[in-house]
Structure 1
Amino acid sequence: MAAGNEAQQSTPVYLGALLDDGEGATVTLVAGQTRLVVHRAVLVAGSPVFAAMFRHDTAESRGGLVDVADVDGLVLRELLTYLYTLRAPQLASLAPRLLAAADKYGMASLKAQCEQQLAAGLTVDNAVATAVLAVRHCCPGLRQTAVSYIKGHTHRVMATQAWADAVRTQPEDVVELGKMLAETPPESSSPASPGPGAATQPPSGAAARHTPPPPDDAAVSRLRSLSQQERGRRLIEAAKQGAVEQLRELLAAVADVGAREEGLLGSIRTALHWAARGGHVAAASCLIGAGAEVDARTSLQQSTPLHSAAQSGHAGVVRLLVGASADPNARDCRGRTPLHRAAAGGHAEAAAELLLAGADRRARDGGGRIPLDFARTIRKQQLVDMLTQR
């Protein structure tokens, strides 16, 4: 028994050394500046794609030279190491690229192990990239786990730079992801149905790292002794400043999340209006999570928080609000939508978020003007191009 175990443990080491040695190897794989000489039999046995390549009369089969496109040298090395040793690398940073390569070359077992690593390492910052990867490479278990995780942390995920990058570079994938978010129940303690090789749910530690500590009991107790009016006033001030910890303490002390305050020119705004106007993503997320009305109106201009965020060019808050079902085509007292406001201010990124959310680029305000008219007036070519594209 001991001898068998020793042989089992030493075999991968021996085969890995065979890859490094290259003796008897007949095929050269090229990825950029990386060239690796390998054994044809190992490629054929481990990958149906390579097997088909070498069993037919192809240029690769005749010349023994294979150009591995879309795979960098480091990933190719790990891919081959797995073919020789059947051991997946433990470098978490490689898992997304290695999964894509494993899918391309039909290596189901390696792909499943990469899925496990990605599911176990889900965080607010990498959840959207993981979900998009799972959609692109048909990983149903990982996809369900990632989408469920995002559903349980929606506002915080949408406030990340990763979400902004995905919206900008992979809009079709984000739209598809949005459809899945609408259909998937939020993450809970019960495990999601796993796909082949995927983890059933992200470990509690991944979520715990991003869970803020509960509000200080003593601070909450002191705030509860104040009048409702004073708590509302302090909530507004905290929203203006983006003071998330103060907001959480005030909300825990049952401050009215819909509290309003008179601003410039006599317009009365909610705390969410102020947070949106100031570009305070975390504060806005805190208020929305506490039940703030996302389409609340100011008293004079009839503006929503989305109007405020768009006019100020705060794309992160725009993204957060539309993710919370704010109306991208809401009209103010002059018939202007948030897209009119973003265009008038020359804010291309905010306009892009609104268009992705379904904003009507042909909407006319009370004066008959569409958002494109404002972009042309201020000569913002990027906005003009964006608003004229179909």
Structure 2
Amino acid sequence: MSAAAEVQRTAAVDLGALLDAGDGAVVTLVAGETRLAAHRAVLAARSPVFRAMFQHDTLEASCGEVRIADVGGPVLRQLLSYVYTLQAPQLTDTAPELLAAADRYGLSALKAACEQQVAAQLEVETAAAAAVLAVRHSCPSLTAAAVHFIRATDYKVMATQGWADAMRSCPEYLTEVSRLLSEPLARAVAPAVPALPLGDPGRSPAVAARHTLPPPDDATVSHLRSLSQQERGRRLIEAAEQGAAEQLRELLAAGADVGARGECGGGYTVLHWAAESGHVAAASCLVSAGAEVDARTRLEQRTPLHWAAYKGHAGVVRLLVGASADPNARDRWERTPLHWAAEWGHAGAAAELLLAGADRGARDERWRTPLDVARENRKQELVDMLTQR
């Protein structure tokens, strides 16, 4: 061990002992019911935010108490422990919260360590939250890792409750994540290899590359721009029906109208076609590009959510309600999406609608509730689901 490393280790140990003793502490950190004593000089030495706070005539400097917002007691203890010891804890559930706190107080080394730990824990259900966290706190390594992971899992992340929750609570950050997913892979910052366990084929960079959609080709986009708006709209609808996300991105980049409707009398929008066909990645691409989630067909007055429920595409239902689609929209026959899911026995779609606030007591033009429809069509699973409270 070098002399400099030994001095740093000894200093960290000594400061750790100082924290445990609490002698001479002149400031109290407060998070909820947790109150921890700390030394003003140590906080100022480690964090530029604390340093600025104590150097100026602030409330914290005068009263000797600092309230740490949006942080729980365990995270506050981990944050303070790092300030005194410079040792990043090995985290599980609290890594995202500690990353946010480290960013807020300018602890860049701790933030980087948390980035690696969040990246190593990526799962299909949590990847959306991790991606949003990365964008919100400007974490290039974690952002790249999350984008690679979403691509590597064939965009299954977009069909999770986590994605729907992120779209509902942080739409501006998820829009940026969707933009990054549509960009050429070469433009993304390469993820730190240690952050993705190579033993897991679902997380291997090689697998990510294999499943990544090809980048929009400049020559192709240029050619598409030379087509009429009508032709671009026709091709956009065709790509949505087929779930061709790559072609959708190229056409949208070429200026195709995301609200284009088919020439048939039904007047389905592009998003209607993607929803009816059950293509989650295509639907997400369109929603991110500004497609109207509650657009109506001309004759049936159905929304894309009606079609997704009718066909039983639970992933698309989850995506649409996460984008604020109305779960109680009425079609020409006064039917809600839940009526259609009940008629055809689509339990997964019905469950997503109920979670989104669908009204199980809504009545259609024949005065039938979704439960009545399920009983008429002998869909016992739906009958059981709709009779539960």
Aligned to 1:249: none
Deviations 1:26-60 (A, max 9, x none): 11111111111111100111111111111111221
For 2:283, the equivalent position in structure 1 comes to 322
* Matching residue of 1:13: 13
AA at the equivalent of 1:322: A
Query: Distance in 1 between the 2:3 and 2:139 partners?
Result: 39
Per-residue CA distance 1:58-110 (angstroms, 9 max, x = gap): 22112211111111111111111111111111113222111100111111121
Query: Matches of residues 127-206 of structure 1 in structure 2 within 5 Å?
Result: 127-185=127-185, 193=189, 199-200=192-193, 202-205=195-198
Write the deviation string for residues 156-183 of structure 1: whole angstroms up to 9, x where unpaired.
2223332232233333332222122111
* Secondary structure at 1:119 match in 2: helix
**Aligned pair in 2 of structure 1 residues 325, 58: CA closer, same or farther (>3 Å)?**
closer
Indicate if the aligned counterparts of 1:147 and 1:184 stay in contact, CA closer than 8 A: no
Change (3 A) 1:94 1:335: closer
Distance 1:142 1:343, change over 3 A: closer
Contact 2:46 2:83 (8 Å CA) reproduced = yes
TM-score (norm 1): 0.57
Work out which of the residue numbers 325, 350, 354 in structure 1 matches 2:320. 354
Partner residue in 1 for 2:207:
none
Larger CA deviation: 125-134 vs 4-13: 4-13
Change (3 A) 1:114 1:184: farther
Displacement of 1:305 in angstroms is: 12
Name the aligned partner's letter for residue 145 of structure 1: A
| TM-score between the two structures when normalised by the length of structure 2 | 0.57
One-letter code of the match for 1:159?
A
RMSD: 5.1
C-alpha distance in 2, partners of 1:89/1:355?
A: 38
How many pairs align? 288
Distance 1:71 1:174 in 2: 23
Q: Which runs of 5+ in 2 are unaligned?
A: 205-241, 247-261, 340-353, 360-389
Residue 308 to residue 139, structure 1, CA distance change in 2 (3 Å): closer
Q: Is the 8 A contact 2:99 2:110 kept in 1?
A: yes
Matched, 1:87 2:87: yes
Which digits, 9 at most, give the CA deviation of each residue in 1:128-153, with x for residues without a partner? 11110011111123212322321232
The separation in 2 between residues aligned to 1:112 and 1:118, in whole angstroms, is 10
| 1:123–1:206 contact (8 Å) kept in structure 2 | no
1:82 counterpart letter in structure 2: Y
- Secondary structure of 1:93's counterpart equals coil
Matches within 5 A, 1:220-259: none
1:30 aligned partner, one-letter code: V
Q: State the identity %.
A: 47
1:28 partner amino acid:
T
Equivalent residue number for residue 32 of structure 1:
32
Helix, strand or coil: the match of 2:94?
A: helix
The Cα shift of 1:7 comes to 5.5
Q: Which residue of 2 aligns with 1:101?
A: 101
